[in-house]
Amino acid sequence: MVVLITGASSGIGLATANYLTEKGYKVYGLSRKMPENVEFENLVCDVTNYKAVAEKFEYIYNKEGRIDVLINNAGMGIAGAIEHTEAEDIKKIFDLNVLALINSCKCVVPFMRKCGGGKIINIGSVAGVIPIPFQACYSSTKSAVDIFSTAFGLEVKDFNIQLTTVMPGDTKSNFGFNRVKNTLMQDEYYKSRIDNSIKKMEKDEREGMSPLCVSEVIYKVIKRKKSPSRVAVGFNYKTIVFLSKILPRSLMLKVVKKMYG
């Protein structure tokens, strides 16, 4: 089985590429950077370069004769008040987290259809279900990933292509360190709220689950005959997603505001 993973040079992507390689899958990574000492084949590629991505997909298909699983993992974060967020950074996060993901899905469908089907696993986030203040752009992109996956899944269901959104919560990785932060973390209006919110996010990430926990869930999704449309990773986060469905929205937002606002 041939698996393609975007953003495979670090964090969840690297952990999953290594894990699936150990399980016997033929794994290809698509990343801007070349990871060191790995057993899978990584192709250096900027996934926001649509032409380059299409060429890499065609290369893999011509070499292997199939692409069975696509895992869209590449992504970035932005932290800070929207009022202080640069337009360039907003465009950058939507280009990478949403538009590049959609393009990868478009590229892989013809190859999966030729092979009689496949699975596309898009890495979303619990933050796409629970809106996080001072991470509004990130929450928006991950919410978009979830809705896109569901709608696109309906379009390609007749081709035996299954879509799943995997939604991790706080995970130990270098994602937080690579997060784009606004230079203005305190001002006369927001005062210390931005700084306090980001410190809590980073603390939760440092104490969060291992990327391997996400890899194990992805593996289970691949193995299942019929994949779920969405799955949260970890009991606590499954509980949070469940409660978000049954609690009054005003109560949920009040709790989030108290935690992060």
Which amino acid, residue 10?
A: S
Q: How many CA atoms lie within 13 A of 261 on its CB side?
A: 11
Which residues make Cβ contacts (< 8 Å) with residue 260, sequence separation at least 6? 132, 133, 134, 135, 197, 200, 201
Active-site position among 19, 28, 61, 138: 138
Distant-in-sequence contacts of 106-114, Cβ < 8 A, 24+ apart:
107/53, 107/54, 107/57, 108/4, 108/57, 108/67, 108/70, 109/156, 109/159, 109/161, 111/57, 111/61, 111/66, 111/67, 112/67, 112/68, 112/70, 112/159, 112/161, 113/159, 113/161, 114/66
| Angle subtended at Cα 25 by Cα 20 and Cα 31, rounded to the nearest 5 degrees | 65
d(CA 106, CA 48): 13
Is 219 catalytic? The answer is no
Residues that are catalytic: 138
